[in-house]
Amino acid sequence: MSHDDAAPARMERAVLARAHDIRCVYGGGEEDFTAVDGVSLELGEGEILGLAGESGCGKTTLGNALAMIATPPLYVLSGTLEIDGESIDLSTLSVADLKRHRPYRGRTVSMLPQGAMNSISPTLRIRSLVHDVMRAHDPRVSRDEALDLARDRLKMLEMPVRVLDSYAHQLSGGMKQRMITVISTLQNPRLLIADEPTSALDVSSQRMLVEMLLAMVEHRIMSGVVFVTHDLPVLSQVSDRLAIMSAGRIVETGPTRRLVEQPEHDYTRTLLSSVLDPSRETWERGRRRAGLDAGAAGPAAPAAPAPEKEVGAR
């Protein structure tokens, strides 16, 4: 991706969604723990927003609040999501709120979960889940219609159609994650919350998933993505803009290239400096510190530059 182009590109985009003043707590004990403290976000049409921060900073909690799937002990105390000309109250203080949010889930805002490995019931064929997801928002959808849509989507993404007849245990981790990605986007959601979708994958599966997500955005299958991860190298490849989160708050936002190269907030600088650099220079420095021969065979060359996403093509 040409990050230099990202900021101007964003300026041209219409606003897809605005999240305002989201506050979340984990309750049930003697004291509530505030996990998200008054976060507001804005996302443009066709934009991928990277949400980064260390473990426990509230990224996943914010993602759950946006996807309207917070269940006790997590409570969304306040917050609104403006999308498609509608302002959705995100608060979940009663069971009725959970029911109120159901029609938005999967269609207006969809979720690509962190635990995709176990996201499919072990006794359910993929095709049954596909039908259930399609029927969730339109009970008239027949099994054949649902499967036709899924087949078209799989062909478009160059994935094997026979996967639909499988059970979860018959798929590899990478294939399961990609299949969940397809199912999460079957309803052409306006906004996709991708919660650490690459964290449990090997590098080649990570790459396949990232390329697939980019292709989906390119094909306008979803209108925007909030990509939650602590993996900054992945985010730098995927996202148009970054939001850095710490202790339940957004401390800095900006175009990805600008934020990576010229971070303004101390926490962002600390976070970026913590990323391991697999270059020859770093490797040699580590060997010298350990008192080993720095001249031994090591990484031949600095890591290849990240593949660029063609923002203009979208």
Partner 1 sequence: MTLGRYIARKSGWYLVALVAAVSLNFLLPRLVPGNPVDVIVSNLARGGSVTGEQQKAIYEGFVAEFGLDAPLWQQFLTYLGKVFSGDLGTSFANYPASVNDLIGQALPWSIAVQLPAVLIGWIAGNLVGAIAAFRGGNWDRSVFTSALFLSAMPYYCLSILLLYGFAVVAGIFPVGGAYSLGLTPEFSVEFLWDAVSYYWLPFLSLVVVFIGGQAVGMRSMAIYELGGDYVNYARAMGIRDNRITQYIFRNAMLPQITGLALAIGTLVGGALITELVFSYPGVGTLLFNAITQNDYPVIQAVTLIITVAVLVANFLVEIAYGIIDPRIRAASAGEK
Q: Which residues bind partner 1 (CB under 8 A)?
A: 67, 69, 71, 102-107, 110-111, 113, 115-124, 129, 132-133, 136-137, 167, 169-170, 180, 183-184
Beta-strand runs (E) in 186-307:
191-195, 224-228, 241-246, 249-255
Backbone angles phi, psi at 223, to 5 degrees: -90, -15
In the complex, the smallest distance separating the C-beta of residue 191 from partner 1, rounded to whole angstroms, is: 12
In angstroms, what is the minimal distance from the CB of 102 to partner 1? Answer: 5
Crossing angle of the two packed helices 126-137 and 173-184, in degrees rounded to 10: 20
Nearer to partner 1, 102 or 285 (CB): 102
Residue 110, number of CB atoms within 10 A of its CB: 25
For 76, residues 6+ apart whose C-beta sits below 8 A from its C-beta are: 22, 23, 24, 65, 70, 90, 91, 92, 93
Burial 132-149 (b: 16+ CB within 10 A, else e): ebbeebeeeeeeeebbeb
Q: For partner 1, which is the closer residue by CB, 91 or 184?
A: 184
Smallest separation (angstroms) from partner 1 to the CB of 35: 17
Residues in the chain: 314
Strands 33-44 and 15-26: antiparallel
User: Residue 124 or 303: which CB sits closer to partner 1?
Assistant: 124
For residues 200 and 306, which CB has a smaller minimum distance to partner 1 in the complex? Answer: 200
CB of 67 to partner 1, least distance (A): 6
Q: Is 49 helix (H, G, I), strand (E, B) or coil?
A: strand
Q: 229 or 246, CB closer to partner 1?
A: 229
Residue 61 or 256: which CB sits closer to partner 1?
61
Query: Least distance to partner 1 from the beta carbon of 19, Å?
Result: 17
Q: How far is the CB of 82 from partner 1 (least distance, A)?
A: 20
Sheet holding 109-112, edge to edge: 109-112, 191-195, 224-228, 47-52, 241-246, 249-255
